[in-house]
Structure 1
Amino acid sequence: MKVPCSAIVIGAGIVGASTAYELALRGLKVTLIEAREGAGLGTSYANGGQLSACEVAPWAGPEIPALILRWLGRDDAPFRLRPKMDPEQWLWLLKFLLRCRASARAERIPPNLEIALLTRARLAAYERAFAEAGTPLDFQRKEKGILRIFRDVHAMKEAERESAIITRMGLEQKLLTPAECAALEPALGSAMQRGDIAGGLYAASDSSGDAHLFSRGIADGAARLGVKFLSNTSVTRILTDGSKVRGVKTTQDAVAADAVVIAAGTETRALLGPFGIRSYIYPLKGYSVTLPAPEGNAPEVSITDEERKIVISRLGDRIRAAGQAEVGGYDLTLEPARARSVLDALEGVLPQVGPRREEAGFWCGLRPMTPDGSPVIGEVPGISGLFVNSGHGTLGWTLGPGSAAALASLICDPAPQPTLSPFSISRF
């Protein structure tokens, strides 16, 4: 494949901004196009903040169908289905349910982990390069690890068995008693005393940070490398000449390029539709709540509460909790009851946040999810120069920079590393 001279990246979230930066590093003339007024204002804006290489297993698993039935009718259900007259929704659900097998989940862990480890390496490289240039990349990274807490011993043992795949790939995780969980993170003391913690699984090498700040910072870094950023600009059509990409048509003008990367999250489906290609990327609505950190007893370690299905991260002087998954189309209406359920879950883990409830800020976003829990990364079959880097779901922060580097390598290098065959759109 001939190495392109110019590229367009559609979408300036974590994935798109990182892709633009990686392509610019390799000498391409890059245009980054974003429908909003700046970088990181969509799904990347207020996510859970975890960089969780040790939690890259897909959602689909043998326990999920029973949990969905158990949660039916609950406003605070961690997973909710809102049926639509949309064949894409039902096709996604069918493929998701077919993946609810232990073997299918295990199959996706190694390729996801390889990209997650590449993210770690690329983040370290970015931070060094930005610091050397005198423009530090500050995204409030906290390298205190991630602690998964369990209320049920059986669930903890299952998670420990599943983590063996990750351990074999070189990442250590430690099983902790309830007392050890509270010793590691004193903010969990009251939860431990109430008997809410049966144990924990601690990944010391994981970290957390603000994905929105990162997206802005890496987009600024891309601009310093010569990337042209078109904000408040929507792509209406991808332009081709036969089976070769020629650029895009936008709400402002046409932009020409040798390569086009769709990193547009839930908008990927619409952009591929005219070519008769299904992305199998569907939106799952999630919620987050952000509030001031309580004085004196705020967590330093990022927490995943497996019972309440939320993640909690300390971002500077703020606490953020994120959770919920709703298969209900593209509606971005923030439902107060759903949003408050995340705050209630946070207070259930950390009652010390209670006095700051009135200062809570709520947000919802659409995660671009594939049925098998891995993103789509690679060239679109039959259309030379058209690439996809989308569908990261809850792992956008964990896999984003790594998938950007891997795709840039595929586009620009004669011997790309790592192989992206597990992430091909053809796998569906």
Structure 2
Amino acid sequence: MKIVVVGAGIIGVTSAYELAARGHEVTLLDKREGAGLETSYANGGQIGACEVAPWAGPEVPGLVLRWLGRADAPFRLKLKADPEQWIWLLRFLMRCRASARAQRVLPNLALALLTQARMDAIAAHAQSEGAPITFNENRNGILQIFRHASDLKAAAADIETMRSAGLEQNICSARECVDLEPALVSAIQKGEIAGGIYCASDRSGDAHLFTARLAEKAQRMGVAFVTGAEVTGFETLGDRISGVRTKAWLFGADAVVLAAGVATTGLARLAGLRLPVYPLKGYSVTLPVKSDVVPSISITDEARKIVVSRLGDKLRTAGTAEVCGYDTNIEMLRARSVLAATLDIFPQMNEVAEEAVFWTGLRPMSSDGSPIIGQAGRFTNLYLNTGHGSLGWTLGAGSAAALGDLICGTAPQLDLTPFNLKRFYWT
């Protein structure tokens, strides 16, 4: 089949790779000049099966009210005269129940574990070809730290459920946290860590580097990667899409995959689909590593609402969420709040604070915290791979593999029913 994949972030590139590996003629389109230059560019780096619970939960409405009016709040609403935003917010708020959050954990976890398996397979294949994909991968695990014992106890309640699904995690005392990660000694001395949860099998790495290297590998496999290609519409024939139009070209297609991050919503609308996906703006800060006392384990600080990952000679911190539409301007107050949180937990990084590089990106977040994967709408050959939110790096390769199975009609590695768009028709 001739398959057109729209979007060259982590989701689109892994989708193109999986379809090419199954023998299809794949064209990958992106409006930018290369792969992984939007949401995949400077995220928090975690490939964390332990972090798959949706953001929507019973505590969220109270937190939003508490943070109302704070320009540097970890979660901020900037309401607009935009029906798309209001509809998404209503759907999101309806999911702020413990039962609704629990409903999505195990499907997301299965997808995260498949992602790790697929990344291992991709790495092994690249290694066998003598062209390893290097992306500053770190396999030292992820440590979630908690300031209050009550928060640790609440988070630990889900460990057995996740263990039964194949993910091992350990509860750690404050002393065990610093034994695992000596760079936390300052936070321990200040009494800011009551304990933690450690997942040894989780990982971190540079999503942009991986995406760019995998795009190169996909091209060697025959994928035609067309940059500077902004999709303007679709050619249709009956209940099928026969081609994808850009400003300059028409690409014939037997199947089309929309995997363009936040742009997928607008593209889907061209095909008559309205998606429950909206941008959540996040910030990251990248610092050079010039000290020996830097974390070797990826850290999630639940009190500060940040994640920290060592990426080779850089330290990356990501945090904040803002429902503000499609604005990608950097507000320095919010950007510096992420830097301040980094320096608070790792004061040894103060010596390189002036070299901080700030970035912001838009996460394509579905209202229930799980991606939308599969065929959708009246066009039988139109497929979606979107809505991953902050979990694109964690769920990307698994999403692509599962979608590849569906398109090709091969034995499924994962049941995609929980990720079908139809789930929103009655929730």
How many equivalent pairs are there?
424
> Which of residues 377, 392, 407 is equivalent to 1:396?
392
User: TM-score, normalization: structure 2?
Assistant: 0.98
Contact 2:317-2:338 at 8 Å conserved across structures: yes
- Partner AA of 1:91 in structure 2: I
- 279, 282, 286: which one aligns with 2:282: 286
Q: Which amino acid aligns with 2:62?
A: A
Q: Does 1:256 align with 2:252?
A: yes
Amino acid at match of 1:182: V
SS in 2 for 1:61: coil
Which whole-Å deviations, capped at 9, do the CAs of 1:1-37 have from their partners, x for residues lacking one? Answer: xxxx110000000010000000000000000001100
SS at structure 1 position matched to 2:380: coil
Q: Quote the offset at 1:254 in angstroms.
A: 0.7
Distance in 2, Cα, partners of 1:44 & 1:274 = 24
CA distance in structure 1 between the aligned counterparts of 2:70 and 2:177, rounded to whole angstroms:
30
The 5-angstrom pairing of residues 157-236 of structure 1 reads 157-236=153-232
| Partner in structure 1 of residue 381 of structure 2 | 385
Runs of 4+ in 1 over 6 A off after TM superposition: none
Find out whether 1:111 has 2:104 as its counterpart. no
CA drift of 1:414 comes to 4.2
* Structure 2: segments with no counterpart, 5+ residues: none
Could you tell me how far apart the structure 2 residues matched to 1:74 and 1:342 are? 14
Letter in 2 for 1:75: A
Question: Where does structure 1 lack aligned partners over 5 or more consecutive residues?
Answer: none
User: 1:307 is matched with which residue?
Assistant: 303
Say which SS state the counterpart of residue 181 (structure 1) adopts: helix
Match of 1:77 in 2: 73
* Corresponding residue to 2:83 among 77, 84, 87: 87
State the SS of the aligned residue for 1:190.
helix
Measured in 1, the distance between the counterparts of 2:294 and 2:262 equals 34
String of CA shifts for 1:15-68, please: whole Å, max 9, x gaps. Answer: 100000000000000000011000000000000000001110000011111011
- Counterpart residue number, 1:152: 148
Which residue does the alignment assign to 2:364? 368
1:184, distance to aligned residue in structure 2 (A): 0.5
Q: Deviation digits for residues 210-230 of structure 1, max 9, x if unmatched?
A: 000000011011001100000
Q: Which whole-Å CA distance do the structure 1 matches of 2:130 and 2:270 have between them?
A: 45
Q: Which residue of 1 aligns with 2:117?
A: 121
Residue 33 of structure 2 corresponds to which residue in structure 1? Answer: 37
Deviation at 1:162, TM superposition (A): 2.3
Deviation at 1:420, TM superposition (A): 0.7
1:57-97 per-position Cα deviation (integer Å, ceiling 9, x unaligned): 00001111101111111122110000011111011101101
Q: Residue 234 of structure 2 contacts residue 271 of structure 2 at CA under 8 Å; is this kept in 1?
A: no
Rounded to whole Å, the distance in 1 between the matches of 2:226 and 2:354 is: 37
Q: Give the match for residue 331 of structure 1.
A: 327
Post-superposition offset of 1:272 = 1.4
Note the C-alpha offset of 1:275. 3.4
- Taking the aligned partners of 2:165 and 2:43, their CA distance within structure 1 comes to 27
Counterpart CA distance in 1 for 2:270 and 2:139 is 44
Matched, 1:268 2:264: yes
1:18 paired residue among 14, 23, 39 = 14
**Which residue matches 2:404?**
408
Residue 128 of structure 1: how far off its partner (Å):
0.6
- Alignment identity in percent? 57
CA drift of 1:418 comes to: 1.3
State how far apart, in whole Å, the 2-side matches of 1:20 and 1:239 are: 21
Q: Which amino acid is the alignment partner of residue 226 of structure 1?
A: G
Corresponding residue of 2:61: 65
AA aligned opposite 2:232: T
Indicate if the aligned counterparts of 1:410 and 1:417 stay in contact, CA closer than 8 A.
Answer: no
**2:363 touches 2:389 (CA, 8 Å); kept in 1?**
yes
RMSD: 0.9
- 1:336-380, Cα deviation, whole Å (9 max, x unpaired): 101000000111111111110000000000000001100000001
Deviation at 1:180? Answer: 0.7
Secondary structure in structure 2 of the residue aligned to 1:45: coil
- The one-letter amino acid of 1:211's match is A
Match of 1:417 among 405, 413, 420: 413
In structure 1, what is the Cα distance between the partners aligned to 2:63 and 2:289?
Answer: 32
Show the counterpart of 2:338.
Answer: 342
CA offsets 1:266-299 (integer angstroms, 9 cap, x no match): 0111111133321111000000000112411011
Partners of 1:215 and 1:18 lie apart in 2 by 8
Match of 2:355 in 1: 359
Quick one: distance in 2 between partners of 1:381 and 1:270?
Answer: 14
* Residues 294, 352 of structure 1: 8 Å contact kept: no
